[in-house]
Amino acid sequence: MTLNELDPNVAAAARPMRVCVVGAGYVGLTAAACLAELGHTVRCVETDPAKLATLSAGGMPIHEPGLSELVANHRGSGRLTFTSDVVEAMEDTAVALLCVATPPRLDGEPDLRQLGHAAIEVVIAANSDVVLVVKSTVPPGSCEALELLVGGYTADGQRVSVVSNPEFLRESEAVWDFFNPDRVVIGAGRADVGELIAQLYPARWPLLVCDRRSAELIKYASNTFLAMKISFANEVAALAEALGAEAGNVLAGVGLDGRIGGAFLTPGPGFGGSCLPKDLSGFIAVADSVNQPAFLARATQRVNDGAREALVNKLEATLGCLSGRQIGVLGLAFKPGTNDVRHSPAVGLAEALVARGATVRAHDPVASVSGTLFEQVVDPYDAASGADALVVATAWPVYRRLAPKRLREVMGGTIVLDAADALDAHTFAAVGFDVYGVGRGLPTLFAPVLWRPLEWMVDTGAVDTLVTQ
Ligand SMILES: NC(=O)c1ccc[n+]([C@@H]2O[C@H](COP(=O)([O-])OP(=O)(O)OC[C@H]3O[C@@H](n4cnc5c(N)ncnc54)[C@H](O)[C@@H]3O)[C@@H](O)[C@H]2O)c1
């Protein structure tokens, strides 16, 4: 999206304010630049010296379409500045958006220490009334807990209100999503504070104002549902493959139902990234903390855990064994359009192949991973060179434009496992590749598939008579 595509009628905040944004990551940097575009004056605090140096030098620490233009424009307009000094950022400012990470702990429960720390810093720096707006994804109860926590650090007479304003943007479409929200959710303990924060956004945007716990749960429940759709798609795809049905057709047909919708109904190597796995385990941890069963969420997690292993097993079945084999892996980012490799199923897949004794050479157009046991190359044909099999793990559009004939010439084998459904299988098959995917590829035994329906159609014992006729 370019800025010119923004509708000028919606691209203005209800009330321009001075705001501080804490954290210049995917959410904070996007929010800071987009809020500046809406007319606010934004000071963005970032503690990572490398990130801050990049931003101060006019560079971009993340790959996000449209964001570098917005940042450059508003550094120029003077409405967007970066600093490591929270006191400077809070000068004449009564609103701070907290956009720090809330990663999972090893046990899956959320680690909220960055949030607590950032909130205390802001409250001490403000030294006067302040509204903390939590954009980070947090378990229900966190905003109220944060109010209690910072209460121990307030100056005499200083009033701190904490508002929940969860962020729903998708990496790779962050700027577009910010300006085209399905909804802006604001959870506030006091109506006047909720109204003030609503004025950060254009009045015409769809707004849901509610209590804080509900706002926090909306975010957790939304991501859990999206993860559930992906796991459901993987389960249907596995079933389609076993039955000899076409997974792509089945899921397209299911998604065309307006009550279901086709988004996120895509089989593949499983969901990853910094949000869905973390928010799903957070949802489960929250449910456990109040003794509520989270059956669907747990099943979603189990299906996702099995997705990578199913792919590795499929490759092993097609190659005979993985030990000593050379595999090319295309894609490392957790999805196309981003350089984010946090909890990337593509990286997990490459690592799992190495763990089973294969040598892996991987390519990604923008992402890279440090400290891996596999080689990373800058040309996809290099990744394929001499490979017994090629795995497409991230659906980057550039992979659809690869020349199958050239790949066939450089590879040693003929196996292509298109886990991301990124290729045109027919053109690859036409030059002699054996193309497999999720829900597609392995030979199906048709007799058992028909046997049970036959048994369900006629009286017990009659099937034997039927099939011997
Ligand atoms: N990434 C997404 O697509 C996305 C979407 C919606 C919601 N969220 C949620 O938003 C939150 C942030 O996610 P992210 O992906 O932007 O994280 P991130 O790790 O990319 O960015 C967080 C930034 O905060 C900085 N930081 C930490 N403590 C700080 C402090 N005290 N002062 C200043 N800077 C500080 C870090 O250095 C880092 O740059 C998380 O809770 C996440 O779940 C993320």
User: pLDDT averaged over the chain?
Assistant: 93
Q: Nearest to residue 118, comparing CAs of 17, 46, 188? A: 46
Domain annotation covers residue 120:
yes
Out of 27, 34, 88, mutate this one to test ligand 1's pocket (max ligand atoms within 8 Å of CB): namely 27
Per-residue pLDDT at 446:
57
Which residues are paired to 360 by β-bridges? 327
424 shares a domain with 277? yes
Task: Kindly report, residue by residue over 398-412, the tens digit of the pLDDT.
Answer: 999 999 999 999 999
Question: 342, 334 in Cβ contact below 8 A?
Answer: yes
Per-residue pLDDT at 443:
54
Task: Kindly report, residue by residue over 214-230, the tens digit of the pLDDT.
Answer: 999 999 999 999 999 99
Domain annotation covers residue 215:
no
101 shares a domain with 243? no
pTM of the model: 0.92
Question: Does the beta carbon of 114 lie inside 6 Å of ligand 1?
Answer: yes
> Is residue 445 over pLDDT 60?
no
144 shares a domain with 112? yes
> Is residue 328 over pLDDT 60?
yes
228 shares a domain with 195? no
Distance, CA of 30 to CA of 375 (rounded, Å) = 32
Q: How confident is the model at residue 3 (pLDDT cuts 50, 70, 90)?
A: very low
Domain annotation covers residue 249:
yes
> Could you tell me the CATH number of the domain that includes residue 32?
3.40.50.720
Tell me whether residue 275 is one of the annotated catalytic residues: yes
Question: 273, 342 in Cβ contact below 8 A?
Answer: yes
Distance, CA of 427 to CA of 430 (rounded, Å) = 5
Of 85 and 6, the one with more pLDDT: 85
- Mean pLDDT computed over 137-164: 97
- pLDDT over 90, % of the chain: 87
- Ligand 1 centroid from CA 137, angstroms: 9
170 shares a domain with 228? no
Domain annotation covers residue 304:
yes
Among 210, 245, 271, the domain boundary falls at 210
Sheet bearing 130-134, strands edge to edge:
80-83, 41-45, 18-22, 95-98, 130-134, 160-164, 184-187, 207-210
184 shares a domain with 71? yes
Domain annotation covers residue 384:
yes
Question: 333, 460 in Cβ contact below 8 A?
Answer: no
348 shares a domain with 234? yes
Which residues are paired to 104 by β-bridges? 110
> Is residue 10 over pLDDT 90?
no
Distance, CA of 247 to CA of 425 (rounded, Å) = 14
- Ligand 1 centroid from CA 26, angstroms: 6
Task: Kindly report, residue by residue over 12-69, the tens digit of the pLDDT.
Answer: 777 899 999 999 999 999 999 999 999 999 999 999 999 999 999 999 999 899 999 9
- pLDDT over 70, % of the chain: 94
330 shares a domain with 299? yes
Per-residue pLDDT at 466:
65
Domain annotation covers residue 129:
yes
DSSP codes, 127-177: -S-EEEEE-S---TTHHHHHHHHHHTTPPTT--EEEEE----PPTTSHHHH
338 shares a domain with 257? yes
241 shares a domain with 205? no
- Ligand 1 centroid from CA 274, angstroms: 10
Domain annotation covers residue 446:
no
Q: For ligand 1, what atom is nearest to the CA of residue 117?
A: 31
Distance, CA of 239 to CA of 262 (rounded, Å) = 18
203 shares a domain with 227? no
Among 157, 183, 210, the domain boundary falls at 210
Distance, CA of 248 to CA of 43 (rounded, Å) = 47
Atom 30 of ligand 1: nearest residue by CA position: 118
- Ligand 1 centroid from CA 103, angstroms: 9
Question: Does the beta carbon of 136 lie inside 6 Å of ligand 1?
Answer: yes
Out of 274, 281, 334, mutate this one to test ligand 1's pocket (max ligand atoms within 8 Å of CB): namely 274
Q: Nearest to residue 143, comparing CAs of 178, 186, 90, 84? A: 186
Domain annotation covers residue 418:
yes
Q: How confident is the model at residue 467 (pLDDT cuts 50, 70, 90)?
A: low
- 207 phi, psi to nearest 5 deg: -120, 135
- Mean pLDDT computed over 290-301: 97
Among 149, 178, 210, the domain boundary falls at 210
Range of the domain at 293: 223-437
236 shares a domain with 320? yes
Total domains, the chain: 2
Per-residue pLDDT at 440:
79
